[in-house]
A and B are shown apart, each in its own frame.
Chain A
């Protein structure tokens, strides 16, 4: 069955510290991969996406993610977290060639300590 796992429900980091949010997927073939961020009461904003090519992708707000086929992972990273990064982060996968029927992970809530 197709699924996306974000094993960390909550993560707390200090401002200025580095961040890594984990995402693993189970899919029939290498899917399109996405990371979205959701601030409280808001919709989702696309941080970055992987379709093909370089497995290290750069996104907005200083985020990057690395696709590792052997591990079926697409972890999100940021070298220095800002207080404004506190939000809910969702990993999602979709079939290649289409964003139809995205499957979302359960989300990771990021808390930032001052």
Chain B
């Protein structure tokens, strides 16, 4: 099956720094990837849709200047949390659209901002 990886799997950073999270489709090309955020014991909330070669589409309430998304190739999308603060601490999960009707999810990245 399709495999999606994320790097790093966890990261701890100081408040005010920026953190980049990578999402890769390992054995297929993905023109569309999605970024989700999951708070402890809660469901996934879609943050943005990342389309290769074009600007990401952000969901309402998601700060596009805070969460920079780049989808520079058919196998890589990156999420950069800029000037991170403790409230940005969360579990970030990406997914890649394999077919029109199916997404495959990465293992997630745990971000802790001190």
Contact = CB atoms under 8 A, between A and B. Distances in A.
B29 to A, nearest CB: 16
B42 interface: yes
Contacts of B103: 99, 102
B26 interface: no
Interface of B: 4, 6, 32, 34, 41-46, 49, 91, 93, 95, 97, 99-108, 110
B43 A97 contact: no
Interface stretch (A18-26, A62-70, A73-81, A103-111): A103-111
Given A42-B108, A102-B46, 6 more contacts: A99-B99, A99-B101, A99-B103, A100-B49, A104-B44, A105-B43
Contacts of B104: 46
Nearest to B42: A106
Interface of A: 32, 36, 41-46, 49, 51, 90, 94, 97-102, 104-107, 109
Main secondary structure of the interface of A (DSSP, over half): loop
A74 B42 CA distance: 20
A98 B91 CA distance: 25
Nearest to B102: A99
